[in-house]
Amino acid sequence: MNSIVKLPCDDRSCGWYAALPEPQPARRLVGEQRADHVVIGAGFAGLAAARRLASHLPHARILLVDAQRVGYGASGRNSGFVIDLPHKFALEHPDPLHKQRLLGLNRAAIDQLQTLIGRHGIECQWSHAGKYQGAVGPRGLAYLEHFESLLADLGEPYRLVERSELASVLGTDHYSRAIFTPGCYLMQPAALVRGLGGSLPENVEVLEESPIQRLEKSSSGWVLQGNDGCIRTPSVLLGTSIFTQEFGFLRNRLLPVMTFASWTRPLSDAEMARVGAQADWGLTPADHAGTTVRMTQDRRLIIRNTYRHVPRYGRSVDDATRARIREDHAKAFRARYPQLAEVPFTHTWGGAYAISRNFTNFFGQLDDGVFATACDNGVGAAWGTISGTLLADLVVGASSTQLDDIRAVTGMPSLNPPEPFLGLGVSTRIRWAAWNSRSEL
């Protein structure tokens, strides 16, 4: 028996989700159900897996089960980037083929999402806006120079953007320089996730607000025990990210980290003119511990920084901590936009995700009839989409070059030290990174 110890417990102040209309009432797990396949977790990975299973098996009964509402969890809480380029650690991989495989997988995910958005008319502020990676001072500029060398080695297109040109887009001269890469897309993540959930094939049934408390092996497969019902199935696909360890799999191999964002109300015409900013752009920091800044299509400014080790997920962060984080975001906002100092934040939220010490993603089979993709290492929208899709291919025995590629670039996340050493080490490293990167915050 695998018993869930800690369930999702996200804050109620995610701006992306609050901006959406109220959803239809949830359909919950009640009574005993039987299904050919069950997908747990309705984020990017779970949605993609369920959709692909339905495509392969149009007459199968497929249940997609989530502990919360679709779009409410981590997949609806990111900063709205769908990134094609791997993050810095993956770009430093010594094997050029490894990096090309990652690029190909991420770009296949982008193509897949764009097709679905067009086919189903999903309104999610989808935009081929590209992405800036910005530097403030000498530390950031050194990271930016290193990023430029990695892009040149990879043969990827990019453009250096100096302070004055950058200020005409961002509305702030806070940044010294940036590198613009064209392959990134921007979106409203909660809207995209909800739209994907609402456009699934007919043989996928979505059960929300239905946490699975236990996963038990039986003579005929698996029994998934909820609060008010259970599901019997021979096949379970876990799109549960950090919560995979709560089912007894990949324990002591995933690190639960939460990052936080705040956003403003939509800026007025006068405020936009005051700073001279454009709408619809995104900037990530050259120094990975710095600050991400976004302007949405509806002219909200987003500040994202601050990381926490969250062994109890949302329960690790209390209201007082969120208030301090919000003030840190306000300082970063005022440093960039002193002309907008009176513009308030309306929402501050966090989202938990999984990283691994060796920056390795897991993809594959965990037990008889149990498959998982876990640990996106911070590239969740693209990686979740493609890994969930290919996980379904693996389950049904399909073959493809992409499946070969994802097997080649994934592996087993390394073991973590035991507690309390793990928590002390991760927290210390996060604080040390924030201190070193304070000039970029």
Kindly tell me if the per-residue pLDDT of 1 is higher than 60.
no
**Token pair 């764009």: residue:** 114
pLDDT band at 430 (very low <50, low <70, confident <90, very high): confident
Q: How many Å apart are CA 210 and CA 67, to the nearest integer? A: 5
Dihedral (CA of 181, 192, 107, 97) sign = positive
pLDDT band at 379 (very low <50, low <70, confident <90, very high): confident
Q: How many Å apart are CA 42 and CA 68, to the nearest integer? A: 9
Under 8 Å CB-to-CB from 159, ≥6 apart: which residues? 179, 180
Dihedral (CA of 264, 140, 428, 88) sign = positive
Single-letter amino acid, residue 161: V
Q: Over the stretch 243-261, which tens digit does the pLDDT of each residue have?
A: 999 999 999 999 999 999 9
Q: How many Å apart are CA 249 and CA 241, to the nearest integer? A: 11
- By the 8 A CB rule, do 280 and 372 touch? no
Q: Over the stretch 154-174, which tens digit does the pLDDT of each residue have?
A: 999 999 999 999 999 999 999
Q: Over the stretch 36-48, which tens digit does the pLDDT of each residue have?
A: 999 999 999 999 9
pLDDT at 431: 83
- By the 8 A CB rule, do 363 and 406 touch? yes
β-sheet with 301-309: strand ranges across:
159-162, 177-181, 131-135, 281-285, 292-295, 301-309, 255-264, 345-355
Q: Over the stretch 265-299, which tens digit does the pLDDT of each residue have?
A: 999 999 999 999 999 999 999 998 899 999 999 99
Single-letter amino acid, residue 256: P
Q: How many Å apart are CA 441 and CA 429, to the nearest integer? A: 16
Q: How many Å apart are CA 410 and CA 383, to the nearest integer? A: 11
Antiparallel, parallel or unpaired: β 214-218 and 2-3? antiparallel
Continuous H helices in 397-438:
401-409, 421-436
Kindly tell me if the per-residue pLDDT of 14 is higher than 90.
yes
Antiparallel, parallel or unpaired: β 370-374 and 236-238? parallel
Q: How confident is the prediction for the chain on average, in pLDDT?
A: 95
pLDDT band at 429 (very low <50, low <70, confident <90, very high): confident
pLDDT at 90: 85
3-state SS class at 363 = strand
Q: How many Å apart are CA 190 and CA 213, to the nearest integer? A: 25
Question: By mean pLDDT, which of 82-86, 172-176, 401-405, 411-415 is the weakest?
Answer: 82-86
Q: Measured between alpha carbons, how far is residue 104 from residues 108, 190, 228 in Å? A: 6, 25, 42
Q: How many Å apart are CA 436 and CA 441, to the nearest integer? A: 10
Q: What is the DSSP string of 303-353?
A: EEEEEEE-TTGGGG--HHHHHHHHHHHHHHHHHH-GGGTTPPEEEEEEEEE
Q: How many Å apart are CA 101 and CA 402, to the nearest integer? A: 8
Kindly tell me if the per-residue pLDDT of 5 is higher than 70.
no
Kindly tell me if the per-residue pLDDT of 421 is higher than 80.
no
Domains and CATH numbers, the chain: 2-76+191-254+358-423 (3.50.50.60)
Kindly tell me if the per-residue pLDDT of 30 is higher than 90.
yes
β-sheet with 370-374: strand ranges across:
204-207, 62-65, 37-40, 236-238, 370-374, 362-367
The C-alpha R_g of the chain, in whole angstroms, comes to 21
pLDDT band at 437 (very low <50, low <70, confident <90, very high): confident
Kindly tell me if the per-residue pLDDT of 396 is higher than 60.
yes
